[in-house]
Amino acid sequence: MAARLGSHDDELTENSEINVTPFIDVMLVLLIVFMVAAPLATVDAPVDLPRSNAKASPRTEKPLFISMKTDLTLVLGNDAIEREQLGAALDAATSGNRDERIYLRADRKVDYGDLMELINALRDAGYTKVALVGMDGGR
């Protein structure tokens, strides 16, 4: 409880104003603690990526799929292609439109490094709009 001094009356009156400075100080300290601790909580989390519960995003009328099989062969639409011919095959399929979204499907057993190599090959060919396709539903 605070009191005002220097009043005309000799008796002390109560001050009903709330001092929020300590509350703000505590909130700033908590903010800093959470900002430091949050990135540490996301390290080495085990993940199982093949399935997704996310709501499906709307697709274009004629989506362009690239599939990677377990033996690392590539299929563009329904046609098998060689990795060296990926850029030329995509240019033919998209008529050179590098802003078209490419939907990438990979078998569950494909190594993550091999999938990243394919994504890097797509980027090197000029296609940066790549969407990963997973199975709908939970486990």
* pLDDT at residue 54, as a whole number: 64
* pLDDT at residue 47, as a whole number: 41
pLDDT class of 117 with cuts at 50, 70, 90? very high
Q: Is the pLDDT score of 49 beyond 90?
A: no
Q: Is the pLDDT score of 64 beyond 50?
A: yes
pLDDT class of 48 with cuts at 50, 70, 90? very low
The continuous run of DSSP H or E covering 124 comes out as: helix 112-124
- By DSSP bridging, strand 14-15 and strand 2-3 are antiparallel
- With 0-12 CB in 10 A as exposed, 13-18 as middle and 19+ as buried, what is 127? buried
Rounded (10°) CA dihedral 82, 122, 70, 47: 170
More confident position, 67 or 46: 67
At position 35, the amino acid (one-letter code) is M
Q: Is the pLDDT score of 130 beyond 80?
A: yes
Q: Is the pLDDT score of 58 beyond 50?
A: yes
Q: Is the pTM of this model over 0.75?
A: no
Q: Is the pLDDT score of 121 beyond 60?
A: yes
Other beta carbons less than 10 A from residue 91's beta carbon = 15
